[in-house]
């Protein structure tokens, strides 16, 4: 009789254990899914999880609750991965001389004569007069308007490089959009040359073109650093 009454409890225990085992497995898989968490880091976190579970067990909590609390204390795997990226590979504006140079040249270019007698900032503000041509599908005017995005990207580049270039994926995106902006500004200058307007180009325009080239180099350098740091962590 005693055996029969204990049977349902044993079944419950087995079911609970199965549930915990599958929850631990799923947690392990989630950790393994984070590119920045190496096998060694995962092993360390698993040891920490086991230590937490042992401590909670001593408080008399059920295994299921122990696991849930321990997992909560360690935190979400995605957040851990981001934290490892941030701490192991900090990217700050002031540590990037190439970026500072790009930004400085860009700012200076706005105050230099850029096209005939117009200074850089005057050329940038001129874009609003091109909207009628844009609406008529004039490609040169569309190209001119798109330069606004390139300029905005350049203005925001210190922020992007400081906060959005810590992972390989982020830096790849940044590299793509910076390349697009660089092609955009150089192709615009090329069009002026093709249309025999090259004589109107002044030093400000050259500085502006140089600033985008420097920015692209800065992003490429950052990308290679991030990739190298990734390889160092995943030998």
Partner 1 sequence: MLAKDMVAASAKPLLLSILAEGESYGYEIIQKVRDISGGKIEWSDGMLYPVLHRMERDGLIESEWKEADSGRQRKYYYLSSNGRNVLKNERQQWLTVHNTLARLWNIKPVTA
Site of interaction with partner 1 (CB under 8 A): 40-41, 43-45, 47-48, 50-52, 54-55, 73-75, 79-80, 83-84, 86-88
Task: Closer to partner 1 by CB, 58 or 196: give it.
Answer: 58
Task: Report, in Å, the least distance between residue 79 CB and partner 1.
Answer: 7
Task: Report, in Å, the least distance between residue 94 CB and partner 1.
Answer: 19
Q: How far apart are CA 109 and CA 161, in angstroms?
A: 21
Task: Report, in Å, the least distance between residue 56 CB and partner 1.
Answer: 12
CA distances for 108 relative to 59, 70, 119, 207, 208, angstroms: 65, 55, 10, 8, 8
Task: Report, in Å, the least distance between residue 127 CB and partner 1.
Answer: 42
Task: Report, in Å, the least distance between residue 189 CB and partner 1.
Answer: 44
Task: Report, in Å, the least distance between residue 42 CB and partner 1.
Answer: 10
Q: How far apart are CA 219 and CA 225, in angstroms?
A: 10
Task: Closer to partner 1 by CB, 81 or 110: give it.
Answer: 81
Task: Closer to partner 1 by CB, 54 or 116: give it.
Answer: 54
Q: How far apart are CA 53 and CA 67, in angstroms?
A: 6
Task: Closer to partner 1 by CB, 52 or 123: give it.
Answer: 52
Task: Closer to partner 1 by CB, 33 or 75: give it.
Answer: 75
Residue 27's closest CA among 1, 53, 56, 61?
Answer: 53
Task: Closer to partner 1 by CB, 140 or 232: give it.
Answer: 232
């Amino acid at each position: 009789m005693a055996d029969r009454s204990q049977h349902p409890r044993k079944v419950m225990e087995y079911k609970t254990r199965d549930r915990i085992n599958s929850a631990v497995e799923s947690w392990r898989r989630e950790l393994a899914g984070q590119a920045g968490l190496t096998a060694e880091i995962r092993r360390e976190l698993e040891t920490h999880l086991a230590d937490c579970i042992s401590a909670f067990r001593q408080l008399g909590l059920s295994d299921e609750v122990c696991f849930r609390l321990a997992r909560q204390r360690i935190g979400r795997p995605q957040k851990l991965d981001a934290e490892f990226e941030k701490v192991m590979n900090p990217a700050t504006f002031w540590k990037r001389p190439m970026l500072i140079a790009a930004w400085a040249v860009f700012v200076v270019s706005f105050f230099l004569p850029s096209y005939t007698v117009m200074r850089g900032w005057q050329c940038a503000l001129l874009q609003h007069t091109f909207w009628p041509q844009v609406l008529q599908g004039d490609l040169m005017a569309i190209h001119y308007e798109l330069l606004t995005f390139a300029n905005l990207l350049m203005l925001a580049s210190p922020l992007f490089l400081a906060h959005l270039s810590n992972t390989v994926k982020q830096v790849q995106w940044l590299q793509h959009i910076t390349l697009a902006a660089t092609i955009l500004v150089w192709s615009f200058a090329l069009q002026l040359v093709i249309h025999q307007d090259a004589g109107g180009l002044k030093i400000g325009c050259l500085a502006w073109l140089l600033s985008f080239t420097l920015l692209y180099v800065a992003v490429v350098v950052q990308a290679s650093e991030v990739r190298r740091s990734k390889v160092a962590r995943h030998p």
